[in-house]
Structure 1
Amino acid sequence: MEDIQAVIARNLAKLRKSRGLSLDQTAELTGVSKAMLAQIEKGKSNPTVSTLWKIANGLQVSFSLFMKEEKPVIKTINISELDSIDDNDGKYRVYPFFPYHPEKKFEIYIVTLEPGCVHGEKTHLGEEYILIKEGQLTIQLQGEIYVLGSGDAMQFPSGIPHNYSNLTKEQASFFLLMHYPESDEI
């Protein structure tokens, strides 16, 4: 992960230059001195939160824009490296591959259900996107029963009461993407 001071420096310089602003013009818009802006852009000064807010407000951008990293983060994960979150006496296991991040507004899990597992009815924020990896999953949703097998997918608002069941004699597993389109608060 790149040093935050370097990230802020690069993002401020890039934003200022993309708008064709001089340091003097940026200082006038933000109320932050030309010298301080130059020090930040050179990575020689670590700005305070107050200073970043002044710059963000003056340039009419989000505060978080200055912390945004340019490089794509490449991440590999193996399920054997993860601790599961269990329910139903270990018959329902959730492996958090990519936990929630407010900027991305989604999280991705692999869920496994042992034979005979019925994971009770629930509702929560967001939307669910389910892609069956293996086995067969029965979903009860608004009084309707949906039976999905390997390669099938389903999407629904999570605020609708729903439950998951594995009514077979084989383990079922699925990818679960939870999307939170309207709220950064979970």
Structure 2
Amino acid sequence: MVKKLIGKKLKATRLKNDMTIQELTESSKVSSNMISRIERGLTIPSVEILMKLAEAFGMSINYFVQEAEKGSTVVHTRKGHGEPIFFFEDKHQITSLTQGLRDPNFAVFYDTLERDCTSGEGGMVHNGEEFALVLRGSMEFVIEGERYQVEEGDSITFKASQPHSWRNRHDGQTVVLWVVSPAPEVSH
């Protein structure tokens, strides 16, 4: 989790400063490969590398370390204040209700789907389990070739290793609460 937090902070800081990885490499003397690996959460930088990166932004190393310590053990999300994490052509908007939780084993998303929005062609397959509760509207799920019509107030739970897809068949917006385990990688 520390790797991911430092990586996210580095990438956000670099983009906020309108810098490419190559420009950061030149100003910090840290290789572009290392910067890329840190940003993707694949490695924890040494103190020396973190100091060089912080210096390149005119900051102290604490800027990155404090963020890593801050991963919370409690996330309280007020109505309408979740963290937007995905938008697709105004048809699909996902808001995280668990963003910032330290070492999560699951993630909760509030998903707003426009009419005919789908999960795409073909069935998705990944590790873990999924739970979907339709709060408004209705959806059609296809899991291992079997169709399920999930209406407002209905829920569905399944092993994500089974080929699955979904479509908003409702004549308007459908709002779904998803619980996904393990928590997927979310990149902004």
TM range (shorter): 0.5 to 0.7
CA–CA distance in structure 2, aligned partners of residues 73 and 102 of structure 1: 8
More strand by share: 1
Structure-to-structure mapping, 1:39-118, within 5 angstroms: 73=74, 75-80=76-81, 82-87=83-88, 89-99=89-99, 101=101, 103-118=103-118
1:177 to 176, 179, 182: 179
Deviation of 1:81 after TM superposition, in Å, equals: 5.3
CA–CA distance in structure 1, aligned partners of residues 82 and 146 of structure 2: 36
CA–CA distance in structure 1, aligned partners of residues 149 and 184 of structure 2: 32
User: Which residue number corresponds to residue 9 of structure 2?
Assistant: none
SS at structure 1 position matched to 2:135: strand
Deviation of 1:171 after TM superposition, in Å, equals: 0.7
Tell me if structure 2 keeps the 8 A contact 1:107–1:179. Answer: yes
1:133 to 129, 132, 135: 135
CA–CA distance in structure 1, aligned partners of residues 175 and 184 of structure 2: 28
1:88-111, CA deviations, whole angstroms, 9 ceiling, x for partnerless residues? x22122111113856441110011
Deviation of 1:132 after TM superposition, in Å, equals: 1.0
Could you tell me which amino acid in structure 2 is paired with residue 148 of structure 1?
V
1:106-159, CA deviations, whole angstroms, 9 ceiling, x for partnerless residues? 110011110111221312221001111110011111101101111111110112
Moved over 3 A (4+): 99-104
CA–CA distance in structure 2, aligned partners of residues 109 and 99 of structure 1: 9
Give structure 2 stretches of 5+ with no counterpart: 1-68
User: Which residue number corresponds to residue 149 of structure 2?
Assistant: 147
Normalised TM-score (structure 2):
0.52
User: Which residue number corresponds to residue 32 of structure 2?
Assistant: none
Which structure has the larger Rg?
1
Report the identity percentage.
22
CA–CA distance in structure 2, aligned partners of residues 100 and 140 of structure 1: 32
> How many correspondences in the alignment?
114
Could you tell me which amino acid in structure 2 is paired with residue 124 of structure 1?
H
What RMSD, in angstroms, separates the aligned Cα atoms of the two structures? 2.9
Over 3 Å counting, the alpha-carbon distance change for 1:123 and 1:165 in structure 2 is same
